[in-house]
Chain A
Amino acid sequence: MYSIMRKEVLRLDAQLKRGILEICVLKALSGGDSYGYRIIKDTQDVIDISESTLYPILKRLEGGAYVRSYAAEHNGRLRKYYAVTERGAARIGEFIREWQEIARVYAYIQGGETA
């Protein structure tokens, strides 16, 4: 029983983390179009995203039309830039509302324990 619960928790953690990373990338793009390496640098103070973690996140976001990409010339080579779409911007707001809901539940639980 314990091991099953433990596994559930780990799985949830992975999903939670994946979701948070996606929102962080959207947030990083909401200040203006950006590219892979800069997204990693811009988010490194709050969360650790490696190059190989970022790749599937960007693909997923693009596949879901949360971001769009285009190639632009930079120093004689092509660099891939990403821009947040309207849908991506809406997703950030949605995330914040979801977490407010969780925060309410959290406050209730915490209040219950100290009472």
Chain B
Amino acid sequence: MREWPAARSLGRPVAPDIERAIITVGDSYVDAVVGYRTWWVSLLEGRAFLSSVFIPSAKWLPGQDAVSRCCCRGDDQRLRRIPGACKDTCGIYAFHDYAHAFAARMPRSALTDLYGIRVPQESVTVRGQVYLWGKVKVHERGYRAEFARPAAFYADWKDERQRLRVQMAAQQFDVPLLEVS
């Protein structure tokens, strides 16, 4: 097994119970935090892309690391309309653990009714693991991070349409499909 030099974290020491994984970013390596989250999976001309559940305009593309956009600067007009939403809520969200991510289910109709979010009917959800690094805010049940990359998807589908999209996304994002235990 390869020996890695100690990874560098700035600021306060990282809590030992935070799940970590070494990943390669360009010509460097990162001792990334591992989080759990849900995405929308969509297909455009046979190419899969992911998007944030609450901000469908925030797209994740294969081969590209996701970078947080500061909504406080007004990139997202919809967020500006929600009182308090722009106050230090930026970042790529994930939960600490699988249980919290799986418990955070919200019907598509509730997203529309509560937040005015309209998701294309052909999009399906996928739950998975995500690597996080850069500035990472640690919360009681999750994280907000500056950079992120999908790490794995869960083979958790309810119909054939969802299975096909999740499998295609796993192949194009080059991530494993994990059995739900």
Binding partners A and B: no
